[in-house]
Structures are given as structure tokens and as C-alpha cells.
Amino acid sequence: MLSVSKPTPQGTVRPAMPHVPPAAAIPIGGAGTGSIRNFSIIAHIDHGKSTLSDRILELTGAVEERSMRAQYLDSMELERERGITIKAQNVRVSWRGHTLHLIDTPGHVDFGYEVSRSLAACEGVVLLVDAAQGIEAQTLANCYLALESDLTIVPVLNKIDLPAAEPDLYASEIERVLGIDSGEVLAISAKTGEGVEALLDAIIERIPPPGGDPHAPLQALIFDSHFDQYRGVVSSVRVVNGRLCAGDRLRFMHAGGLHLSEEVGLRLPAVTPTDALGPGEVGYLIAGIKDVAEARSGETVTSAAAPADAPLAGYDDPKPMVFCGLYPVDGDEYPDLRDALAKLRLNDASVTFEPETSGALGFGFRCGFLGLLHMEIVRERLEREFGLSLIATAPSVAYRVRTDDDQELEVDNPSDLPAAGQIAEIAEPMLTVSVLTPSSYTGAVMDLCQSRRGSMTSMDYLSPERVELRYELPLAEVVTDFFDQLKSRTQGYASLDYDHAGYRAERLVRVDILLNGEPVDAFSAVRHRDGAYPYGKAITAKLAELIPRQLFDVPIQAAIGGRIIARETVKAKRKDVLSKCYGGDITRKRKLLERQKEGKKRMKAIGRVEVPNEAFVSALRLDQ
């Protein structure tokens, strides 16, 4: 069942700390860790983490009222536009004589690794639950992460100002599902600020201060790094033992590099240099590094002169799950795309990319992402921040292929798949998927999962109204439009979390698409044998809709191996002419032609066929 195996760490009551004046800017620098509390705010997406961070920034006076804005810590343009957090952010504030390091984390499942990293820098978490929604998929997932790391959990129901809020109901849900005493659950409104002071007090009371020895050799954990064009790599660090001082020579224990500590400092949230960071403190480090690969999250920083014996337990970079080809619309922009990817990777080490050539699209890169949202965001950032115009091929997963001559291959581009005759076995990545849904939608969710080749592993009632369904599902089935479908079939009420679950051999085939008789590698896709024929029919029909009529008939075929399984034809265009000249208005005519010419630039010539860029994206978002 769902209740957690580990007993929840109880908040132990400590003697009240002597009252010292608020002094966020005064570094502790190793003077003692008793007044420090390090915590992350974790929750399901949209349950109010960033809004709570706003209130904390306000209450503690870290941000002046006039410079306050909603979701202050969501500083990326994309975050603000989409109203979601993509990158975790840390900030140091002070409250009643204590120093608090808080980390606001993202809730979206694609960015789960940001939560894991953040937790490595904390002793506790604030687990937020929307009091009008209750526990959702990432509430569970993130709560388990916190428990695995032995962190103190401060459970909080948020949004109690909402008329639909049912704090009592969901407090007992928390007790039943997470095994946390409902009496410990705080109730707040991050919007109005109600209950936030009491929450801050509870944080101080319940979350233990960090340990650590200021006189031991330095061990500091890098839990995030980003590239700043003026300062180079700026890393977020948590000191565990010893002191991290400006001007010290440092050794990066995993990468092996030696660097000079140019600046250490605090985020208050304004960046504020300081002399040193002591045990338990969280801040930033600038060490003249130009490549984030040399200051990966999970890295342990120690002193070059008196190094620690061993690094801290690190963690691996997350592995990409979804792949697609990215190609410049204009082939001349290939070098620009390469530079842009390299720069973007400085801030997002989870993106992978490798040069790739497509017969249809020319030179581009095969890129790996953590999920579909991540893919969409990276693509948007490349276009927006680097002024590129890109074509993305259909998302694919990485297949494991054993060939007849017993070679093992990993193939993340369908067009690289060996010919069917040479494949001894092909396996695809699997997920364990957990869906939380109101019980009235159970049937709809089951239908969806079954149609995506899922097999159910468990079904548990969190309450009479709420069910958790667990499925084994092929990743490939989830990365198409599974999430959209789930949302639309449950009117937005279901939530989803997933984890890797190894590989499973399946009867998979490659479906190729031929335009005007020529195979177009960018449209190749791997499908389960049973789904190949309907897929072929659907995609040829969709392409026939998306490809405009040309000066000649264009046959569109789907094929497995050499066998055609579906065919459509886009008939030759017969009429494209401006009939009338409006009283000598030649300008209008010329501009219409210019627009038409521009339109052609948004098409990719594949052989003689002009294919609109949207076709590459939309064709593969088939509603199945």
C-alpha cells in the first residue's frame, strides 16, 4: 500500500535560540551552525512553492515591497511567461535570529532532478499541498525523495483562502497516505500570507540545524551551476565541513581540476560577496571556470592545500529520456546552432547533443532531453535567445538493438535502426507510471493506458474519491501526447509521475515515409507491429493535409521495409494567380508575391517537394 515505510522524522523541540537582531547580510562564516536552517520547498506543480517563497522574501525583509513581483525567484523569461519554475533557486534570509537557506524547486516531472539536487543541500523540506486539490503525483514523488534522504518534513496545506479549500479533509489524506500525523500539518495561504509566520517558526523549531566541523578539511557540495557571460561559471554550494574562503586554491574532487576561488558570496537574494562560508552555509562560488562540465552539480570542492580524504556522496547528471533532431531551417545557420547549443548547455547540463546528418534536413544535431516539456523549452530558448529558426523532428526514445551478428547498439534515431532482417532483438525503455485521479475517471485512465500498451501493476484508493493507478508503460508511448490525453480525458484532474523501469524486448518495426518516392529520414518512426498499419494510415493522411499542393502530384507513402502499407496523394496545384489589379495598385500585388516568397522560406525542399516546417512537428503529434 501507499503509506510510507519510514516513520516520519518528528520535529524535535529545541530550546529557543537567544534573540539576535536580524542580520541576513552578516555571514556566519563558521561561527556555529545552530542558528542555520536549510530547507527546500517541494510540491506538485502549481501548488504554490514560488508564491510561498515570495511571502517569505517579504516577511523577512529580503526584498523590498516596491521591488516585489509575483514569483520573484522565477527570473527566466520563459518561467515568467509559462508561470512555472524550471530551475531551482536558492536564497538566504533571516528570521528571528536564524539564518534560513531556502530553495524553491520546480514541480514539473521533467525537472525532478532539480529537486533531488536541492535536497542534497538541506536538512528539511516544506512539503506544500494545495488545500483544494490534495495530494497529487509529484507530491508523492517529491515526498519519497525527501524521505529517502532522511530529511525532516514540514507538511503544509496551502491556498486555504480558496473557497474550495478543504484543509481538514486533506490533512487526513496526508496522514493516511504519507503517514504524517495530521496534527503536524500547518495551514497557510501563500497568497494572503496567512500562517506564513507560523510556518517560519515551525521551520526553525522542527528542522534540525546542519552539523559540520569548521576545523575539518573543506568539503563543499556544488548542487547547481550556471554560466554567466561576465563571470563565467557560478556555482551554488553548500559547505559541509571546513570553510570555503575567497582567495583559496581549490580542488574539484570528481573532475580533478584546480581552481582559484575568486569570489564566494550569498544570495540575499541580491548577490553579496563575503569572505567565507562555513559549515551548513549555502552560497555561491566563482572560480574562474569557463565550462560548467568542470563544475557539475554533485561535485565536491575541497582545499588544494589541505584536501579532504574523500568526496561527498555526489549524484549523476540525469539521463536524457527523449531525443529529437534539431535542424536550422536555413542550412547556413548550422554553425550558429552548434554555438547556441554549446552555450545553452553551459546552463543546462542535462541537454545532450551530437552532430547528425539527415538526407531530408541536412546538417543538424541529435539532442537528448529529460522530457517533452524540457524539449519544448530548450527549443524555444534556442529560437528566442539565439535568434535561430529550427525544425525539430519527432521525439524518439533510445532503443536497444541486438543484431544478428550479436552486436549491441543503442539507437535514438529511428532512421539509424538496422534493416529488419539484421535485428535479432529490439528492446524499448519502460516506465513505471503513477497516475493519481479522482475515482470517477478510473475507467478513462485505464482505457488510455491500455491503448498505450500499458500493463497495470497496482491500483490503490487514497480515499474513496481518489485512486492511484500504477502502470508499466513504454516510454515511447508516454512521450507522444500521453500527458495531453490524460489531462483531457480527466478534465485536468489526473496527475502523473514516472520513473525508469529498464528495457523490454518488443515486436517493434520502423515505419518509413516516402515523399514523391523518396524516403524521408526525418519522418521515420519506430512503432509496435500491431500499431504500424494504423500509424501509417494516420501519418500519410496527416501529411497529405499539411503538405500544400505543388506544381506536380506528390505521392505520400508509408512503408515497412520495402512494403507499402499506406498511400495518399497531394494532387498538383492548378490555380494560384491574382486575378485583378486594383486600380493600378501594383504595390499590393508585389507585396503578395513577396509574402508568398517568404512563405517558401518557411518550407524545406525535400527533393522537389516543399514541406512546411510545421509538418515536421504537427505530423508527428497525431491524435491516436
Partner 1 sequence: MTVLDCASPAFGVYCHIPFCTHRCDYCAFATWTDRNHLIGDYMASCRRQARELAGGMPPVTSVFFGGGTPNLVPPSLLGDVLAELPLARGAEITVECNPDLVTPEQMQAYRALGVNRISLGVQSAVPHVLDVLGRRHDPQMVTASVDAVRRAGIGQLNLDLIYGTPTESLADWQRTLVEAIDLGPDHLSVYGLTPEPGTPLGDDPSRRPDDDEMADKYLIADELLSRVGYEIYEISNWARPGAQCRHNLLYWQQGSYAGIGCAAHSHRGGRRFWSVRTPERFIAAISAGTSPMAGSEELEPDERRVEALQLALRTSVGVPADALPDDVEHLLEPAAGGRLKLTARGRLLANEVAVRLGLPSEQ
Ligand X SMILES: Nc1nc2c(ncn2[C@@H]2O[C@H](COP(=O)(O)OP(=O)(O)OP(=O)(O)O)[C@@H](O)[C@H]2O)c(=O)[nH]1
- Interacting residues with partner 1 (CB under 8 A): 551, 573-587, 589-590, 592-593, 596-597, 600, 608
DSSP classification of residue 96: T
Pick what 563 binds: ligand SAM, Mg ion, partner 1, none; C-beta below 5 to 8 Å, kind-dependent.
none
Q: For residues 520 and 607, is the Cβ–Cβ distance under 8 A?
A: no
Q: For residues 133 and 174, is the Cβ–Cβ distance under 8 A?
A: no
Rg of the Cα atoms in the chain: 27
CB of 411 to ligand X, least distance (A): 34
Closer residue to ligand SAM, CB minimum distance, 66 or 580 = 580
One-letter identity of residue 236: S
* Dihedral, CA of residue 418, residue 423, residue 425 and residue 429, to nearest 10: 10
What is d(CA 174, CA 158) in angstroms, rounded to the nearest whole number?
Answer: 13
Inter-axis angle of helices 196-206 and 49-59, to 10 degrees? 90
Pick what 574 binds: ligand SAM, ligand X, partner 1, none; C-beta below 5 to 8 Å, kind-dependent.
partner 1
CB of 38 to ligand X, least distance (A): 19
CB of 433 to Mg ion, least distance (A): 23
- Cis preceding-peptide flag for 269 (omega within 30 of 0): yes
| 580 part of the interface to ligand SAM, by CB under 6 A | yes
Stretch (H or E) spanning 234:
strand 232-241
Pick what 215 binds: ligand SAM, Mg ion, partner 1, none; C-beta below 5 to 8 Å, kind-dependent.
none
Pick what 50 binds: Mg ion, ligand SAM, partner 1, none; C-beta below 5 to 8 Å, kind-dependent.
Mg ion
The separation between CA 416 and the C-alpha centre of its own chain, rounded to angstroms, equals 27
One-letter identity of residue 409: L
| 38 part of the interface to Mg ion, by CB under 5 A | no
Closer residue to partner 1, CB minimum distance, 507 or 573 = 573
| 191 part of the interface to ligand X, by CB under 6 A | yes
| 435 part of the interface to ligand X, by CB under 6 A | no
| 587 part of the interface to ligand SAM, by CB under 6 A | no
Closer residue to partner 1, CB minimum distance, 258 or 593 = 593
Binder among 90, 116, 142, 158 for ligand X (CB under 6 A): 158
CB of 555 to partner 1, least distance (A): 18
CB of 582 to ligand SAM, least distance (A): 7
What is d(CA 419, CA 165) in angstroms, rounded to the nearest whole number?
Answer: 57
CB of 47 to ligand X, least distance (A): 5
CB of 50 to ligand X, least distance (A): 3
CB of 584 to ligand SAM, least distance (A): 11
CB of 163 to Mg ion, least distance (A): 23
CB of 119 to ligand X, least distance (A): 15
Closer residue to ligand SAM, CB minimum distance, 517 or 583 = 583
Options 49-57, 349-357, 550-558, 604-612: segment touching ligand X (CB under 6 A): 49-57
Q: Using CB under 6 A as the criterion, what x/- string covers residues 88-107 for binding ligand X?
A: ------------------xx
What's the angle, vertex CA 280, arms to CA 279 and CA 282, rounded to 5? 110
From residue 516, how far is each of 331, 484, 519, 608 by CA, in Å?
22, 33, 8, 8
Closer residue to partner 1, CB minimum distance, 529 or 571 = 571
CB of 50 to Mg ion, least distance (A): 3
> For 375-378, which contacts have Cβ atoms below 8 Å and span 24 or more sequence positions?
375/322, 375/324, 377/78, 377/86, 378/344, 378/348, 378/351
From residue 307, how far is each of 250, 264, 600 by CA, in Å?
9, 18, 61
Closer residue to ligand X, CB minimum distance, 73 or 221 = 73
Of 217, 218, 224, 291, the residue nearest 255 (C-alpha) = 291
Q: Which residues, 77 to 116, sit near Mg ion by CB under 5 A?
A: 85
Closer residue to ligand X, CB minimum distance, 162 or 255 = 162
Is the alpha carbon torsion for 75, 84, 100, 96 positive or negative? positive
| 124 part of the interface to ligand X, by CB under 6 A | no
Binder among 579, 586, 587, 598 for ligand SAM (CB under 6 A): 579
What is d(CA 278, CA 260) in angstroms, rounded to the nearest whole number?
Answer: 18
Binder among 50, 99, 415, 442 for Mg ion (CB under 5 A): 50
| 159 part of the interface to ligand X, by CB under 6 A | yes
Of 31, 39, 19, the residue nearest 274 (C-alpha) = 31
Beta bridge partners of 42: 127
Q: Beta 124-130 vs 98-104: how paired, if at all? A: unpaired
The cell numbers describing 96, all together, are 528571528
Binder among 190, 340, 556, 615 for ligand X (CB under 6 A): 190
Stretch (H or E) spanning 486:
helix 482-489
Binding-site ranges for ligand X (CB under 6 A): 43, 45-51, 71, 83-85, 106-107, 158-159, 161-162, 189-191
Instruction: Point out which residues bind ligand SAM (CB under 6 A).
Output: 579-580
